[in-house]
Amino acid sequence: MKGELALLKRIRLLRKGFVKVHICGGNYERFLNLCANHGILLWDIQPAQRGYEAKLYRKDFFSLKPLAKKCRTRVRVRRKYGLPFFLYRHRKRKVFALGLCFCGFFIFFLSCFIWNITIHGNLSISRQTLMEYLASRQITYGTRKSALDCRQLAADLRNDFPGIIWVSVRLTGTYLQIDLQENTDRPEAETENAPEASDLVADADGTIVSMITREGLPVAGKGDKVKKGDVLVKGEMEITDDADNVVNYRYCRSDADIYIRTTIPYEDTFSLAHEIITYTGRKRYAVYLKLFGRYFGVDPGLRCFADGDIMGTERQLRLPGNIYLPASAGILSAREYKRTVVAYTKEEAIALAKQKLQKFLLENEQKGVQIFENNVKIEVSTTSCRAKGTLTVIKKTGRSVRIKKSDFPQEGTNE
């Protein structure tokens, strides 16, 4: 706050214009007192060269003459500061002034549009989806700020994306910021889209190691060997009379946690010969300016290297106070490299094959698959390396399959 006040004070001083004067000769203490009594504000008074140096407003300087005459002091201007002096000095540079005015007007004009959109907090809804949604509502880069209703947009986002439980839309300067929070506790899509009456069938061959049925009639149990497509839990339950005749059916959406032990094949082959890239150290740089989607810049031959890569960094230009401009500046750098073909040694090839296998196992573990047994063998020939075998895993199974209802009226209904 103190810093802001000092800055405002400084801006006010420069706007009004002030001068640094040297006061000497005569009775200069009396001169200072007369200035104070006539309402002339002096600051930064310090003794200098048989007199004083002080600062005062430009308009007050013209009132000093009679006071100086009365005290027989001499007042000399040492330095001038501020906008009035700047304008006077550059009074003949009309085009410059015009350019300055045009620049100010142009920045004001640009500040009426949205030039930056950020979205935070989206997990399952991609930024592209949200940007397309905004575009469908005519909200994109370059949209007029007055055309945007933040409250309405937030409400529409909540309505059109049921997964969003909280959303905040803020417009600061030319910067549109959308913060949202998604519901991470939503039921799985499969359950939502599952048919009304369904069986659970095995999606791989294997042996059931664990089975907990929540709804439906289990037709297999722990230890049973099942094949792909076998029904594990039935969604159709027969209702019989005393003579064991089927009189009705009850249908439900089967639901169970079924884990089976199964084997999955694994094979990975790669050539021992491979290319490695060595940077030579030769670099080239280029700078560019992107204005309204068009690129302006100097290309000093970035593509002169036969083998090289080009990398770039780009930053959107902005004024203080989140005023983003439709302009970006960037630097491109091209680096030359050499390709060399080398062959893996046997140890390197085995290590690489193991690394790939570990990555595969890790990816499966992240999906909830437990690795029970690993029967993968790595063989290295003169030209290639091959990892082949099977993995015994315990994984969740059970795919919902819709049931065709029989003609019997369902129990509990009036059909």
Q: Closest approach of Cβ 281 to other proteins, in Å?
A: 55
Choose the stretch contacting other proteins; rule: CB under 8 A; options: 27-35, 227-235, 333-341, 378-386: 27-35
- Residue 13 binds other proteins, judged by CB under 8 A: no
* Chosen residue from 13, 14, 45, 256 binding other proteins by CB under 8 A: 45
Q: Closest approach of Cβ 42 to other proteins, in Å?
A: 4
* Chosen residue from 41, 97, 147, 273 binding other proteins by CB under 8 A: 41
- Residue 43 binds other proteins, judged by CB under 8 A: yes
If binding means CB under 8 A, how many residues of this protein chain bind other proteins? 16
The whole-angstrom distance between residue 373's C-alpha and the CA centroid of its chain comes to 41
- Residue 46 binds other proteins, judged by CB under 8 A: yes
Contact between 119 and 161 under an 8 Å Cβ cutoff? The reply is: no
Distances (CA, A) of 11 to 41, 54, 69, 211: 17, 19, 32, 77
- Residue 382 binds other proteins, judged by CB under 8 A: no
- Residue 144 gets which letter from DSSP? B
Sign, Cα dihedral of 202, 203, 208, 212: negative
- Residue 326 gets which letter from DSSP? E
* Chosen residue from 8, 9, 33, 191 binding other proteins by CB under 8 A: 33
Q: Which tokens is 305 given?
A: 């290297």
- Residue 42 binds other proteins, judged by CB under 8 A: yes
Q: Closest approach of Cβ 14 to other proteins, in Å?
A: 18
Contact between 229 and 202 under an 8 Å Cβ cutoff? The reply is: yes
Footprint on residues 242-271 left by other proteins (CB under 8 A): none
- Residue 44 binds other proteins, judged by CB under 8 A: yes
Closer to other proteins by Cβ: residue 2 or 92 = 2
Closer to other proteins by Cβ: residue 34 or 233 = 34
Closer to other proteins by Cβ: residue 66 or 142 = 66
Cα–Cα distance measured from residue 235 to residue 195, given in angstroms and rounded to the nearest whole number: 11
Distances (CA, A) of 43 to 16, 36, 329, 373: 15, 11, 44, 86
Cα–Cα distance measured from residue 251 to residue 312, given in angstroms and rounded to the nearest whole number: 61
- Residue 35 binds other proteins, judged by CB under 8 A: yes
At a CB cut-off of 8 Å and minimum separation 6, what does 326 contact? 110, 113, 115, 141, 142, 291, 292
Cα–Cα distance measured from residue 387 to residue 196, given in angstroms and rounded to the nearest whole number: 44
* Chosen residue from 17, 23, 52, 233 binding other proteins by CB under 8 A: 52
- Residue 37 binds other proteins, judged by CB under 8 A: yes
- Bridge partner residues of 167 (DSSP): 180
Choose the stretch contacting other proteins; rule: CB under 8 A; options: 34-42, 62-70, 136-144, 287-295: 34-42
| Contacts with other proteins, residue ranges (CB under 8 A) | 29, 32-33, 35-37, 39, 41-47, 52, 54
